[in-house]
Structure 1
Amino acid sequence: MKVLILTEKPFATKAIDSIKQIISNASMEAVILEKYTDKYQVLNAVEDVDAIIIRSDLMTNEILDAAKKLKIVVRAGSGVDNVDLVAASVRNIVVMNTPGQNANAVAELAIGMMIYASRNFYDGSNGTELKGKKLGIHAYGNVGRNVAKIAKGFEMDIYAYDSFCPAEIIEKDGIKAFTSVEELYRTCQYISLHIPCTPETEYSINHNFFTKMLPRAILINTARKEVINEEDLINWMENSPEVRYITDIMPNNDKKLREKFSKRYFSTPKKMGAQTTEANNNAGIAAANQIINFLLNGNTQFQVN
């Protein structure tokens, strides 16, 4: 059987070596397509493979249709909005993710962005400290939990809201749970955003939330750009001269945001939350092991479709 490692943004070398070793030990063949430049390279590569490991790469209906032997796709990461789950299900292709493997890397980046914003992008002027500030974590999953753990070391006052996580679970970790998301946005100077992109959450961070935020609020987005209503974001920043937006996912309106709010807006050029050697290794190894466990044993523990 053949396993394709399909990554426009490649894994670290150490991760690739580990993935190939796991596949080889299972008497399967590993093939690699990295830094591809058009979909036709992908369409050709998927024709005869049994399994695919991806990162943020798209698995569209067209690509899945070309993969006639494909049995499983594993996204080395948590979100699976880059995979057409309906098309996969129609073709009896199992889709999995690797929850938690990138969580620490994303959480460290979120905290780093808070420091960067608080110190005025290191421009030499007086900034503020994180100690004693109120941090609101919107969605208390693997990443949110790691953000909370790190923020405790900064002696921040930590709150969280998650519509799917019971308040007693949050408070067991020493975090104050809010019963409404609006209360989180009204209370906290820092909001760290970790909600997935779903039909319910798309563009859901909008005027309703922005207008409730504190006058010097800082919104950190290491989740997905699609959860932000960008026009409402711009209006908020225009009408609130001290608020800041820091993101790991470049907005569609990046140029306009940079021109209008150069002192209050920052975006990484590419999504960097999982761009660490450790996260690469963890997620890649998990993806390879899940594929082998599925192909040899039928294990579907992390199936999402």
Structure 2
Amino acid sequence: MKVLIATEKPFAKVAVDGIRQEVEAAGYELALLEKYTDKEQLLDAVENVDAIIIRSDIIDEQVLDAAKELKIVVRAGAGYDNVDLEAATAHQVCVMNTPGQNSNAVAELAFGMMVMAVRNFYDGKAGTELKGKKLGIHAYGNVGRNVARIAKGFGMEIYAYDAYCPKDVMEKDGVIPLDSVQALYETCQIVSLHIPATPETKNSIDYDLVNRMPKNGVLVNTARKEVINEVDLLRLMHDRPDLKYVTDIMPVHHEEFASHYPGRYFSTPKKMGAQTAEANINAGIAAACQIVDFFQNGCEKFRVNKK
């Protein structure tokens, strides 16, 4: 078996060493394609591999056509919208993610952004505290649960909405479950987004929903750019001078947000929720372990596409 690490943005060396250890201990060969600058390099590299580990790299039908021996792709991270799942299924390729490995890193970044927002982006003026504020967690998955854990330390009142998570799971964590997404936004001064980008969620964070937030609301997006209706949010920030928006996914309309709403908007230059040494290592090694388990035991626990 041959396993390829294909990363335009490479893993840290310690992560690659950990992946190599897992792969070679199983008797497989490891190949590396790092910092590639042209898709043709990727197409050449996948020609005779059985498994691929990626980060934000694009695996589309053209790549799958070139990878004649490919059986599994693992995205080292939670999101997997950079992989064409339908094409993978058509090529009989299993696609997995590594849920939970980056969760603490994303949650910590969300809180860094919350503190920055309520302290007026550290401009020297008096801000407010997170203690006692109502925090709304929109989607209670791995990241949402870490957000709740950290929020307890800040002394926040924690609410969550997730149509797919049982209420008793939230309640056991000391989180107050709400029955609708509208109730979440109406209740909470700060809302942290952790929903995936799906046909149902794209553009769902719109004018009407965010406008339900109480005065001095803060919207934090460490999920996906596509879930925000940017045109709506730009209009709402004009109509609601009290609202702030912070994100680690630079919007398409970044320049408009930045120029029109200084002191109320912030975006990192690139997606960086999972950009910590620990998350980098955890996700990479988890991907390697899942590939070995797949080949040796047929385990498809983290499969995200149809068979």
Shorter-chain TM-score category? over 0.9
Deviations along 1:162-212, one digit per CA (max 9) or x if unpaired, are 010121221121111100110110111100000001111111111221221
Q: Between 6-15 and 134-143, report the one with greater CA deviation.
A: 6-15
* Partner of residue 280, structure 2: 280
- Could you say which residue in structure 1 is the equivalent of 2:250? 250
Amino acid at match of 1:245: Y
In the other structure, the counterpart of 1:90 is 90
| Matched residue, 2:181 | 181
Deviation by residue 1:108-154 (Cα, 9 ceiling, x = unmatched): 11011100111111111111111000100000000000000001000
- Partners of 2:170 and 2:274 lie apart in 1 by 24
Q: Which amino acid in 1 is paired with 2:120?
A: N
- SS of the aligned residue for 1:73 comes to strand
Q: Where does structure 1 lack aligned partners over 5 or more consecutive residues?
A: none
Q: TM-score, normalised by structure 2?
A: 0.98
With structure 1 as the length reference, what TM-score do the two structures score?
0.98
Q: What are the ranges of 5 or more consecutive residues in structure 2 without an aligned counterpart?
A: none
Mapped pair 1:220 → 2:220: yes
Answer yes or no: is 1:300 the counterpart of 2:300. yes
In structure 2, how many angstroms separate the alpha carbons of the residues matched to 1:68 and 1:266?
Answer: 44
Q: 1:215 offset after TM fit, Å?
A: 2.4
Q: Following superposition, which runs of at least 4 residues in structure 1 exceed 3 angstroms of deviation?
A: none
Q: Tell me, in whole angstroms, the C-alpha distance in 2 between the residues paired with 1:149 and 1:70.
A: 39
Q: Mapping of 1:8-27 within 5 angstroms?
A: 8-27=8-27
Secondary structure in 1 aligned to 2:198? coil
Deviation track 1:86-109 (CA, whole Å, cap 9, x = no partner) reads 000011100011111111110011
- Count of aligned positions: 305
Which residue identity does 2:8 align to in structure 1? Answer: E
Counterpart of 1:60 in structure 2 is 60
> 2:137 is paired with a residue of what secondary structure?
strand
Partner of 1:206: 206
Q: Could you tell me how far apart the structure 2 residues matched to 1:161 and 1:210 are? A: 15
**RMSD of aligned Cα (Å):** 0.9
Cα displacement (A) at 1:58: 1.1
- One-letter amino acid of the structure 2 residue matched with residue 235 of structure 1: R
Q: Match for 2:207: what amino acid?
A: H
My pick for the range that moved more, 216-225 or 54-63, is 54-63
Distance 1:219 1:30 in 2: 42
Structure 1: distance between partners of 2:83 and 2:27: 27
Shift of 1:5: 0.6
Report % sequence identity: 64
